[in-house]
Amino acid sequence: MTLHDIGEKRLLLWLGKYFPGMERGVIVSNTHDAAVVRVSGNVAIKTDTMVITKSIPGITPEHIGYKAGVAVLSDFAAIGATPKYATLSISAPRKMTFSDFRLVCSGVRRSLARANVLVVGGDLSEASDLSVSISLIGKGSQRSMTRSGSKPGDLIAVSRPFGLEPYGLKVLAERLPRGPLEREAVRRFLFPKPELTYGKLLSTLDFVHACTDSSDGLLISIDNLLNRSLDASLEHLPAAGALLKSGMDKETVASLVSSGGEEYVLVFSYDQRRDSELVRALRKVGRRRIVVGRFVNGRGIVRDAARKGKPVDIRGWRQFES
């Protein structure tokens, strides 16, 4: 049965039941023209759209829905906000099966439910590609982190190692044979974790100066934290241990770690004098920080400390380019 067979009206009725959305704080929900919810204090808002222009074996509609949810949750993590409600806008070809459509919704529901987010509205459109757009609103933290605010001397750190997630994508796209490393990498790629708790903790520490999430790769994330009077000195690639132990050649590992993307790790800067304070605060929630470099006076360039400060070629995922 296709979306064309079922038609918009019945799909919307089905969606209204699938995402009930009438719970705490919801005043008007998703079977009406717009939703009304209660949010106290500052309101955080973000939209993220995932468009599927080509299919990759092993990536099901459920994974697509799941990852679309994680992508926008991860943006909230980067500013330290608490997500509460979402609207879901799905565009799909009319010949898409209802069973695939339901899988997309199931993926969205699974990822948003992990963060206790209620879907309170949305819409459906016909399109050539499958596209899942999620808008999140929630509570801004007391002190919202942004991409700007880094200072010369700040350390640059990440919330967990890089590289496995893009390797998972490579395994799927190139149909590589799967050992334990490949299976783990694929799992990480298909079900990435947003760093909501980590981000909220960082936002309580006034010596954390800037933060972003790394969906487009480590180097692009560091570049996003730069301004015209700062350079970043990259001193350490935070490669996942499993990759280092795998016997994979060094260059491939470096490329996955620096430019692979898909990790949804937090990349942030903070006052180097408060490092031990940060480590203690993170230890309390069972986490750590991996220092990858530092900001210095400069003019907006990422430099490789191991190569005498040579500018690094910023690669990674960019829309319209890759």
Binding residues for its own copies, per CB under 8 A?
A: 3-4, 6-9, 11, 27-28, 31-39, 42-51, 53, 75-76, 78-79, 81, 85, 87-89, 91, 94, 120-129, 131, 133, 135-137, 140, 144, 146-148, 211-213, 318-321
Phi, psi of 165 (to 5 degrees): -60, -50
User: Quick one: which of 105, 112, 116 has its CA closest to 23?
Assistant: 116
Nearer to its own copies, 60 or 135 (CB): 135
Q: Count Cβ neighbours within 10 Å for each residue of 183-207 and write b for 16 or more, e otherwise.
A: ebbbebbbbbbbbbebbbbbbebee
Measured CA distances, 320 to 53, 133, 260, 317 (Å): 12, 18, 17, 9
Task: Give the H or E element holding residue 70.
Answer: helix 61-79
CB of 31 to its own copies, least distance (A): 7
Of residues 27 and 279, the one with the C-beta less far from its own copies: 27
Q: What is the DSSP letter of 192?
A: -
In whole angstroms, how close is the CB of 52 to its own copies at the nearest point? 9
Q: Which is nearer to its own copies, 38 or 273 (CB)?
A: 38
Pick 133 or 233: Cβ nearer its own copies: 133
Nearer to its own copies, 106 or 135 (CB): 135
- The least distance separating its own copies from the CB of residue 51, rounded to whole angstroms, comes to 4
DSSP state for residue 25 in the 8-state scheme: T
Cβ closer to its own copies: 126 or 206? 126
Cα 158 to chain centroid, rounded = 13
Whole-angstrom CA distances from 121 to 23, 29, 30, 174 are 13, 7, 4, 37
Do 140 and 57 meet the contact criterion of CB atoms below 8 Å apart?
A: no
**CA distances in angstroms from 107 to 55, 59, 69, 73, 132, listed in the order given:** 17, 12, 8, 14, 11
Compare residues 249 and 321 and give the one whose CB is closer to its own copies: 321
Report, in Å, the least distance between residue 305 CB and its own copies. 24
Check the CA dihedral 57-60-63-68 and report its sign: positive
Instruction: State the nearest-atom distance from the C-beta of 48 to its own copies, in Å.
Output: 6
Comparing CB distances to its own copies, the nearer of 34 and 173 is: 34
Least distance (Å) from its own copies to the CB of residue 98?
Answer: 11
DSSP string, 227-279: -TTEEEEE----B-HHHHTTT--HHHHHHHHHH------EEEEE-GGGHHHHH
Question: CA-CA distance, 20 to 105, in Å (whole number)?
Answer: 13
**Least distance in angstroms from the C-beta of 226 to its own copies:** 12
CB 275, min distance to its own copies, A: 23
